[in-house]
Chain A
Amino acid sequence: MTVLTVTGVSVELGGREVLNDVSLTISAREHVGLIGPNGAGKTTLLRSLLGLLPITAGSITIDGRTPHEARGSIGYVPQRHEFVWDYPVQVRTAVMTGRTHRIGWLRRPGQVDKDAVQEALERVDLTDLATRPIGELSGGQRQRVLVARALALKPSLLLLDEPFTGLDVPTQEILTRLFKDLTAEDTAILMTTHDLPAAADTCHRLCLLNGTVVADGSPEELRDPAIWLRAFGVARSEQLLHSLGVTR
């Protein structure tokens, strides 16, 4: 079942075309890694999927709806620095804010909301820290709070912006296992990453983006060094190719 369909999408930022004719589909149970150099438009694509940026051409459908209509049913995990960590709330409250719009105006969280938050905390292994102020968390714990906040919506599509950046190995393992469980339960995952070996290891498919989709396939299918060199716009980089396991 297709969850996300992106067809011929172009996006302009400040008069400059950042994305040109991008097409991509993601099905339930798929974990796709969005890979590309800085400025390739990875975050721009995520923001367009969330309906935060207008597209100048093409179409986006999420579960058969436009991004605007699908608002509130997409789980979004931004980069950690987008969040105000010295705000005086506890972990459980921070996770509950993921459901603010779904709870609705002038209403307090009900049992459904509390259960969803509890389940999200359990999935990221944060139940012991539920009453800890968010300002006292480590980097790995913070990343898990952001993932839990997105999961509190029980989304069919989960978008993650650089979830592995700056994390220690145990936290990466917790998240990798969690993403595997989620895709096994029909969730579709799209994540941007700079960590190419980890992406090749955890993703079912890799999508190489540099203004447009340069290549799209399973890690095994993307063994040709020329594809990677084109995506990253470099003439030759043994180090890059080596780190990808493309050459030895």
Chain B
Amino acid sequence: MIEFFTEPWTHVFMQRAFLVVLMSGIVCGVIGTHVALRGMAFIGDAVAHSVFPGIAIAFVLKTSLVLGGIVAGLITALSVAVFSQNRRLKEDTVIGVFFAAAFGLGIVVMSTAPGYGGSLESFLFGSVLGIGNADVVTVAIAGAVLLLITGALHKEFVTVGLDRETARSVGLPIFWLDLAMYAMVTVSIVISIQAVGNILVLALLITPAACARLLTDRIGVMMLIAPVIGAFSGLTGLYLSYAFNLAAGGLIVLTATAVFIACWVFAPRHGLLSRRTSRATAVVSANP
């Protein structure tokens, strides 16, 4: 039984996979909290697709896939921000135009590379067991930077999330904060693509945050619970993948979904309990 848990760790490729999945789960859980609270799920999906041409071009030019993805994601995010200034078009319409265009470009670029079918599949569905040492380092650095920025701008993001107009009226630079948020979503998606693939990365961003929202009414607590669920889903999915020789990316997402359904079913009780607790605390702090 113990061997079941320790045996995978003896392989170097599994150690790398564990590290990347763990870090992706944590980073996506924290950033995903903002994505879920601001109703940015569609933007997340769009960014996930739009990093594709960058990764394809980097693949053809044999440079860093992570860097290529980040550049392409940021260009798309900027295009959406600029083109949605035209009030005739709603933001999600503009997003719909650009992410499909970006994905189309990616497929065309990818088709110029010989033997692209295999790379395409690993990009779409993840290739967590084929991760190199350099990738682990890149993910670790990018993830640490993202967590630092999220912490540093926390009160600004909360202020804008609560009430954009009033935040603007006191002088907060809404446009730049939005852009920073898009950039952070882009980077967390790019570093997680190797773990679960392009199509499933949205689940790593949204599902743990959705679980956490069902369990708490405090954003700070959400930002602790969501990464725990993300990391747990990642590691569980990876174990199951190793044990039963099934696709890792799919199992990671299915584990997260199982946690979500469990939260959805059992959260009302937890929600009620946590509300009682906070009310009791309110009474105690009011009458010390």
Contact = CB atoms under 8 A, between A and B. Distances in A.
Interface string B202-228: 000000000001001111001000000
A94 B162 contact: yes
B169 A88 contact: no
A101 B171 contact: yes
Contacts of A103: 155
Contacts of B166: 76, 78, 82, 98, 149
A248 B275 CA distance: 52
B169 A74 contact: yes
A71 B218 contact: no
Contacts of B285: 130-131
Given A103-B155, A135-B217, A87 B278 contact: no
Interface string A146-169: 000100010000000000000000
Contacts of B171: 71-72, 101
A103 B159 CA distance: 12
B281 A131 contact: yes
A220 B159 CA distance: 42
Contacts of B169: 50-52, 71, 74, 76
B269 interface: no
Interface residues of A, number: 39
A149 to B, nearest CB: 8
Contact of B167 (A89, A90, A100, A133): A100
Contact of A88 (B156, B165, B167, B218): B218
Contacts of B217: 88, 90, 133, 135-136
Nearest to A73: B170
Contact of B162 (A71, A83, A109): A83
A52 B168 CA distance: 8
B218 to A, nearest CB: 6
User: Among A51, A89, A109, A135, which residue has the most Cβ atoms of chain B within 10 A?
Assistant: A89
B152 interface: yes
Given A88-B219, A101-B171, A130-B282, A136 B275 contact: yes
A1 interface: no
A97 interface: yes
Nearest to B38: A84
A93 B279 CA distance: 16
A52 B165 contact: yes
Nearest to B282: A131
A132 interface: yes
A221 B119 CA distance: 80
A103 to B, nearest CB: 7
Contacts of A100: 155-156, 158-159, 167, 170, 172
Interface of B: 37, 152, 155-156, 158-159, 161-163, 165-172, 213, 216-219, 222, 275, 278-279, 281-282, 285-286
For the complex of A and B, 8 pairs with smallest distance between CB atoms: A133-B217, A71-B171, A50-B169, A97-B159, A100-B159, A101-B170, A131-B282, A72-B170
